[in-house]
Amino acid sequence: MSSVKARLKNYRQLLRFRKPIFNTIDRRLSRAHTIYDLRDIAKKVTPIGPFDYTDGAAEGEIGMNRSRQAFEDIEFQPRILRDVSQVDLSVDLLGRKMHMPVGIAPTGFTRMMNTDGEVAASRIAQNLSIPFALSTMGTTSIEDVAKAAPGGSNWFQLYLWRDRDKSLELIQRAQKAGYEGLILTVDAQVAGQRLRDVRNGLTVPPSLSAKTIVNALPRPAWWLNFLIKEPLVFASLESWNGTVAELMNTIFDPTMTFEDLDWIRKVWDGNLLVKGIQNADDAKRAVKHGADAVWLSNHGGRQLDKAPVPFEMIPAVRKAVGKSTQIHIDTGIMNGADVIAAMAKGANFTWVGRAYLYGLMAGGGRGVSRTFEILESQMVRTLKLLGVQSVSELDPTMVKYLKERMES
């Protein structure tokens, strides 16, 4: 009998029962250990229209998939026998210290994913000491974001309108509200062909077709959240009742040139980022025309399908713009290791859009926090396993493309 009791005691020491989590959102997020986990949760709780707007890309979605695959097709080159008990993720973003080298990229219709939207995201960015970028097509006003995160690093992303006075008004509002940076997006002369949105009949605000109602029935929490909160409207635009593509083709200016960049440089006296750079020559020209930093982006694969992969452009652009100009990138980042790889190759900063929106859909503001908890833990672990103590120690020799490895 004593031996049985002893064995039972040993078994009890091996068993550890998890404490129950009674809050539905917290329980859901506790099961998310990767960004792909957040994506899976988001898909379960969000109707097809908003989810596909976030998850999809243009045409055959080749550009988005190639951008993700580029981060898969690398091999890290770790150093050993280094003291990595403490690591430092902090970086300089055009004169301001950031806690880690990843920020919240500008995204349109954010409150359509979850009504916590830009207010929650900007507050989380402020708490984490990372930048938040508000889109021209955002669903919270320039002023309300500034009120929500008065001490944050707030940036405004501008699509240049056909009506230059409207563009100037937005720039002046951002300046007055204390935004420290302006992001000019230059790769949206016309709307990309986003076939998921076409097939879903996505309009803004979402329309209640028979298809969307049937799809939404198993997702009552999203509809309840959507219906009891403030109506979804564009904060910087007049009301709109059409498709995303129709809106972009109506308002955005396809005649934009480098002369317009000169004009923006004159009317905006803060940091100026040019987003949508897709070759080294244009990066060099953007700097010549007043850009403080260049942002390599194929718009998340949502504009020109089969466009260049930002991660793969870094070495050529670094050579073109020199060491003193900051290079930022987005697209395809689904893991903190992707951020570290980009920094090692020569980027100065990275931005995520889909990754944080998956978190927003999965759990509102708490889901956004979970996104950055996941990314930060992955970045820290990757640095330690690479054998470096800080982001500043990273260099291109620590990341090898698989094709380079096979050729060597």
Bridge partners (DSSP) of residue 204 are: 242
CB 239 within 8 A of CB 148: no
Q: Which contiguous run of DSSP H or E holds residue 91?
A: strand 91-93
For residue 29, give the nearest of 357, 359, 375, 355 by alpha carbon: 359
Map residue 339 onto helix, strand or coil: helix
For residue 126, give the nearest of 99, 95, 157, 162 by alpha carbon: 99
DSSP characters over 351-379:
EESHHHHHHHHHHHHHHHHHHHHHHHHHH
In the residue annotation, 299 being an active-site residue is answered as yes
Residues with Cβ within 8 Å of 357's Cβ and at least 6 positions away in sequence, in order, are 42, 54, 107, 110, 113
Which runs of consecutive H residues, i.e. helices, occur in 77-203? 110-113, 117-128, 142-148, 164-176, 195-200
Check 33, 99, 289, 299 and give the catalytic one.
299
Enzyme catalytic residues: 299
